[in-house]
Chains A and B, each alone.
Chain A
Amino acid sequence: MRNYLHIHNIHKDFSGLQVLTGVEFKVQEKERHAVIGPNGAGKTTLFNIISGKFKPSSGAILFKGKDISGKPPHILNRYGLSRSFQITNAFQELSVFNNILAGVRSRYGLRYNFFKKPNQNREICEKVDAIIKEVGLTDVKDQPASSLSYGQQRALEIGITLSTEPELILLDEPTAGMTREETNQAIKMIDQVTAGRTLIIIEHDMEVVFSLASMISVLHYGTILVSDTPEKIRNDQRVKDAYLGEG
């Protein structure tokens, strides 16, 4: 069976500082794959490489058999890959609606058109409203992003990530900084909105990881220590020593 996404021997160094030293794991289609690891293990760097923000120093990323490493983000997005950011990265001055609209119209090919007005396209507007509803922001859809509460901003972040209708979603610590209750709601929402798609999630919160993930990879000082099912990971001695044991 061909792997859906194969991260193959990825190295990354920043002017001599080796952050990733041969990351290797595979993700199957429709899998919910969590990447865990202590602070500074290189999780966000790995995401930045998969999503095209950085180029890897060496190695390959095979997406449906095709090497996509080093491709710019806008191309990767058109292949069906979309990511969220750890720190909300929205259009702060614009309304929730217009934040989501940016991605939806991109998906519909309305990026650089000199004549068509995207907000007059009914199909696009309905899609925007549907996504806003999915992430639970219908009540505030006309408010600027900057006026939203923290939890709402995080929901908006996920909404923007979903707006280009990706088949592969990368979520970078979606529940960071949330209260327990907010986190529980967020897990439920993420579970719903990513149904039927492939998900890779970076998370610190073990509760989130074990309630969402079907596979877990443990990143430890630049390499993948182990990549397995949650049950196996929970009982893995190396993981306990390296990471889980600490808590």
Chain B
Amino acid sequence: MKQKSISLITIVVLFLVGLFMPFILKQYHLNMLTEIIIFSLYAVSYNLLLGYAGLLSFGHAAFFGLGAFVTAIAIIHIPGISLWNVILIGVAATVVAGLILGGLLLRHKGSYFALLTLAFNALFYAVATKWHSVTGGDDGLSITRPNLALGFTSIPLSSLTTFYYLTLVIMGAAIVYCWYFTNTAMGKTVVLMRENEDRMKFLGYNTNISRLILFTFTGALAGLAGVFYTFHFQFVSISAISPDMTTAILLMVFVGGTKIFWGPILGVFVYVIFQNYLSNVTDRWPLFMGLIFVLMVLYVPGGLSGVIMNIKQRFFGKKNNNGDKTAQAEEVIS
């Protein structure tokens, strides 16, 4: 119970800090923070798949990009569409894609699954590139954000500050739900399946359906992040759906660490901030990002969050008291 109240206080404090940010930060940094929040949901959704369920997918950008493109296409082709309906259509499209792809791919395990997801990501990318009349191809699609309709009133989202607040509330709520999810029956089921899928079958769990549900769920979350990505930049290009976007998420998640829920969010902060400053300094920033990734995987497999937890343990001697060995298992149970 104590753990729980600490977590709740942390969430409230972070939210309040988030509310004050527009008064403190310059537009440039507020812009960056909005991007960080959007990518955080993308990273958290990916880590539910990789860290919690142990499924290595190289195709997460297919969902992110699908959400992003469907958003732009819906706004362009359906005049006067409301913001909520755009979000609904974007997420619905990724749910459908998740069910179809999951149904096709999930019977394969391990590296076969990983390679097939990569192939599908490449397929989505190819479609986005070639289907010029719909996706704009290399030119991408420009949109303007619809107003936020709240029934009694309508708030224009053209200013960054109002859009930032919308992002904070919706992405924040989705991330908090993901955190809650890791403690639910389904959240625990996916961890147990990672630990011992065979036994789960003999305990009455349909592991194929579980995996399909999780795959679709995390895809839909990535799609939601993609919707906000398009809202944020008011533009979508093929880079949103390219395998590079999958590489980016891998980098963020590995730098932050997969073992702890908030690890990937830390990774996003580091990635976005680094990328912004590095790209100011040198055009070869991807080289340095790549080097950081290699070094992290080789020497700090737990990621930055792992390092922080180690330091915390060393100084405060705080041990897991619930008997589970992995930090992740701990989170899922506490």
Contact = CB atoms under 8 A, between A and B. Distances in A.
Given A105-B185, A142-B322, A91 B196 contact: yes
A92 interface: yes
Interface string B180-208: 01011110110010011011111111110
Interface string A67-79: 0000011100110
A82 B202 contact: yes
In which size bucket is the chain B interface? 20 to 34
Interface string A95-126: 11110001101110011111111110000000
Given A105-B185, A114-B184, A77 B195 contact: no
A190 B186 CA distance: 32
B323 interface: yes
B333 A89 contact: no
A112 B185 contact: yes
A96 B323 contact: yes
Contacts of B244: none
Interface in A16-52: 51
B210 interface: yes
A164 interface: yes
Contacts of B213: 112
Interface stretch (B7-15, B168-176, B324-332): B324-332
A93 B183 contact: no
Given A102-B192, A119-B333, A164 B324 contact: no
Interface string A109-147: 011111111110000000000000000000001111010
B130 to A, nearest CB: 37
A91 B322 contact: no
A39 B203 CA distance: 28
A112 B203 contact: no
B323 A97 contact: yes
Nearest to B207: A74
A104 B202 CA distance: 12
A106 B192 CA distance: 12
A218 interface: no
A112 B210 contact: yes
A90 interface: yes
A80 to B, nearest CB: 10
A146 B325 contact: yes
A36 to B, nearest CB: 23
A44 to B, nearest CB: 14
A77 B186 CA distance: 19
Nearest to A113: B185
Contact of B195 (A94, A116, A119): A94
Given A112-B189, A114-B186, A93 B201 contact: no
B209 interface: yes
Nearest to B181: A114
B330 to A, nearest CB: 10
Contact of A117 (B185, B201, B326): B185
Nearest to B209: A112
Given A91-B195, A102-B192, A144-B323, A73 B184 contact: no
A65 to B, nearest CB: 22
Contact of B199 (A78, A98, A144, A160): A160
A74 B185 contact: no
A164 B204 contact: yes
A90 B322 contact: no
A111 B181 CA distance: 13
A147 to B, nearest CB: 8
Interface in B207-232: 207, 209-210, 213, 217
Contacts of B181: 114
B197 to A, nearest CB: 11
A116 B183 CA distance: 8
B192 A91 contact: yes
B323 A142 contact: yes
Contacts of A91: 192, 195-196, 199
B329 A93 contact: yes
Nearest to A110: B185
Contacts of A82: 202-203
A53 B199 CA distance: 11
A117 B205 CA distance: 17
A244 to B, nearest CB: 32
A111 B195 contact: no
B198 A94 contact: no
18 contacts: A73-B201, A73-B202, A77-B201, A77-B202, A77-B203, A93-B195, A93-B324, A95-B322, A102-B188, A102-B200, A106-B203, A111-B186, A111-B189, A111-B205, A112-B186, A114-B185, A144-B324, A164-B204
Closest 7 CB pairs of A and B: A95-B323, A142-B323, A77-B204, A113-B185, A106-B204, A73-B201, A110-B185
Interface of A: 51, 53, 72-74, 77-78, 82-83, 85, 89-98, 102-103, 105-107, 110-119, 141-144, 146, 160, 163-164
Given A74-B202, A116-B184, A146-B325, 20 more contacts: A51-B202, A72-B201, A85-B199, A89-B199, A90-B199, A91-B199, A93-B329, A94-B333, A98-B324, A106-B203, A106-B205, A111-B204, A111-B206, A112-B189, A112-B210, A112-B213, A113-B185, A114-B185, A115-B184, A143-B323
